[in-house]
Amino acid sequence: VQLQASGGGLVQPGGSVSLSCVASGLSFSSYSMGWWRQAPGKDRELIAGISWSGESTYHADSVKGRFTISKNNAKNTVYLQMSNLRREDTAVYYCAAADGGGIAKTGREYLGWREDEYDYWGQGTLVTVSS
């Protein structure tokens, strides 16, 4: 299984950037996905999540209205569209996949909330917000 995140880089405050995470080696349509970030000196935090079906999403208060998570099961890809970026958004961003114990088979929606719910992690991509 591999999760390959890309799209990070240097962006000015108020700017936008889009992250992508391509998954391989797993049944992507059965996995809920999350975007986490870790800023220097801080713990890793969940900032956005999307259910296996794509019908349910979560955005942390710190990014609500500025970031949008989406999922394309046909392309095995999860996206994070980030706009109106702030200096405090500077962090390494990680995508992660959680199957919730196979909950997709039941048709029930599922979002992973804790790090230990996620089965696979990408390598992280650095986003630096600076002028």
Residue 29: what pLDDT?
94
Which tokens in the block code for residue 128?
Answer: 């630096």
- How many other β-carbons are positioned within 10 Å of the β-carbon of residue 2? 11
Which tokens in the block code for residue 59?
Answer: 């955005």
Give 101's contacts (C-beta < 8 A, 6+ positions apart): none
Residue 106: what pLDDT?
83
pLDDT digits (tens, 9 = 90+) for 100-120: 888 888 888 889 999 999 999
Digits of tens for pLDDT over the chain (131 positions)?
999 999 999 999 999 999 999 999 999 999 999 999 999 999 999 999 999 999 999 999 999 999 999 999 999 999 999 999 999 999 999 999 999 888 888 888 889 999 999 999 999 999 999 99
Asked if residues 102 and 44 have their Cβ atoms less than 8 Å apart, the reply is: no
Residue 107: what pLDDT?
80
Residue 122: what pLDDT?
96
Residue 27: what pLDDT?
95
